[in-house]
Structure 1
Amino acid sequence: YPDGAPRFRMIYVNGGGATNHGKSLELSGRQTLRQFFNAGGSYCGSCAGSFLSGRNVDSSSNRRLGYLHIFPYNTLNTGLKKEQLDHVIPDDSPLLKYRQFGTENRVEGVYHNNGNWMSLEKGEHLEHTEVLAIYDTPGKRPDQGAAIWAYKVKAETGRVVNIGSHPEGVKTGDHLSLTEACFLYSLDGTGVPNIKGKLVAGEMREMLADTTDKTPAFAKIGDGQIHHFSFQVEVCIAKTVIDISTEVDVQLNLYLSQDLSGITTDERAYRVTGAGGNKSLRVRLAPGTWYVAVECANRVRAVKDDSESYYVYDDPQGLLNGVAYSVGLQQRLRRRYLRVVGPVASVK
């Protein structure tokens, strides 16, 4: 998005050659993926995709060039090629919230080709790594080690879900369910909303900046994006007015709630939706912290090229570069506080 926030909730990276894959992105591409994760987008990778997220492999002490390092630990090579490995889902695995698996939570015969694993016996990774599935491969190197694991330590980042094998290659049954559960857990780990700033009574906040301005707190809003703001209601406030306006022919929706996480979905939230971009809310609010969400309901259309090898984005409104708008706060004092002097503006 124009402010650097992730346009998508999750990126999935499949198998191949992790180092060459990462180097082919060049530094700018790797930095973009790191920004995606650090700004709240989740990452799921299988086999090479799992290696790619990490720091390095086996006992190497340096950070490997070409890797993303968003999972800040080394992973281990299994040394196993073109094998079918059983996976066991522990009873406390979050994957069981999304899908159920066969007898004793066992997924049999998952294809594996030079993938990775993690030891559950020692290593600095144990404190922050969440084990989602375990290899059950008696007599082989990764036996009873982590086959699938997750990492998320900061609320504002996304979640990394790494898969050492290839369940994604099967379209039915437990293998499909395993892939689906990994995707869903990754999606549920996206970062908390970022607050653009505090609205000040009597002032209009102009959201006019382009990406190149490098002022994301004042950036234009992208297609399907939601911007969040906060403001304070003191006991002296009788009425609050929130206004949004734009000169662009788009639909901007306006939401108001004390619950930031569910502001656009909570039926109890104040809202003004529908055609057009100029909207206003006039409400009496309880004292405390309140949140405003501005949503650009218009979306850029993505259509597959005739070759079906890539998408073409149809953007006649220029939404990809963002929509300029303004958001303002006005607050009216209760009658007995009218003599109070301060930054609170009067609303007629």
Structure 2
Amino acid sequence: MRTQVAIIGGGPSGLLLAQLLQRRGIDSIVLERKTKDYVLARIRAGVLEQGLVGLLEEAGCADRLHAEGFSHDGTLIAYGDEMFRIDFKEHTGTPVIVYGQTEVTRDLYEAREKAGGPIAFNVEDVVIHGADTDTPHVTYTVDGTTQRVDCDFIAGCDGFHGISRKTIPADLRREYEKVYPFGWLGILSETPPVSHELIYSNTPRGFALASMRNENLCRYYIQCSVDDSIEDWSDDAFWDEFKKRLPADMAAKLVTGPSIEKSIAPLRSFVTEPMRWGRLFLCGDAAHIVPPTGAKGLNTAASDVHYLYNGLREFYETGSADGIDAYSANALSRVWKAERFSWWFSSLMHRYPDQSDFDQRMQIAELEFLRSNKAAQKAMAENYVGLPY
């Protein structure tokens, strides 16, 4: 078949790009290696910057978000039994929206299907050909049958383990990585949230995060060893440890219940440069990973989509290649700022195995400075709600 843009990866970034292009009359196909049900079963963060909300509005996929999402005007930072609030509205005039990534993906699939946009599921053996020429194409197999897609451009939205990044010759890529010496154990429970706003907690026992999906669905996390497994943590053990990492007044009103999902995620910071090779463009986790502290993963992928969509739109509508030529530089400029914020916030809130008493006191000093200094709060708020595109 022939299309204008071949999109590898049927997660939220690939689907969002496809829907934005479709509304401008630009054809695309989405290639996904798993099933739709598998993609929708993945549990991810759900704190959306206004930039992403705006893109979903432009894509015609924001009605349910506005009806069911929660607007958060701030977040809570705890250390020990001390707690203070960063007021997003006061410092930026802008909230974030709490709306699960699974729901974002569900809305995008519904819009794609309604528009009749092609999606191929269960694709295997995907190979990108001729990305450094003017006539790229993609081959793949479904049910043992080889398929070919000829296209003008290829968007690699296939994640950290996908083939898109690896298609760029190794001698042309430069990769930067930091692997953190801990993971996050997270559970999903059908319980009311302990707080309307998220709580990020630094304790001598390690980090904890109280998050939410809706009024009766919570996502809670604790820092754990990278060597831990799910079998090491019963629900009772999780709740016992989680309570110990909340301020006493919050722990006293925590409602617990059986977990409906439990997982351990490693933490990594990663960036590859460049994000473009010929007619291949990397988006989202294919190009960069952030630790989940601060919820920048999906939002940074959305900023990539913003730059690529507008570059492609400009190319097809005016013939100008300025936007696609500037894509990698523009995307990376914002990516590195998001990486800095996620690294800083992670360093502030977690306990490290080799941390000295001095290092721990510096964390507390930094938290107390953040608590008392309006300029520091403003800087954090600006980064948390999302820097401008």
More helix by share: 2
* TM-score range normalised by the length of the shorter chain: under 0.3
Q: Which has the higher contact order (CA 8 A, sep 6+)?
A: 2
TM-score after normalising by structure 2: 0.20
TM-score after normalising by structure 1: 0.22
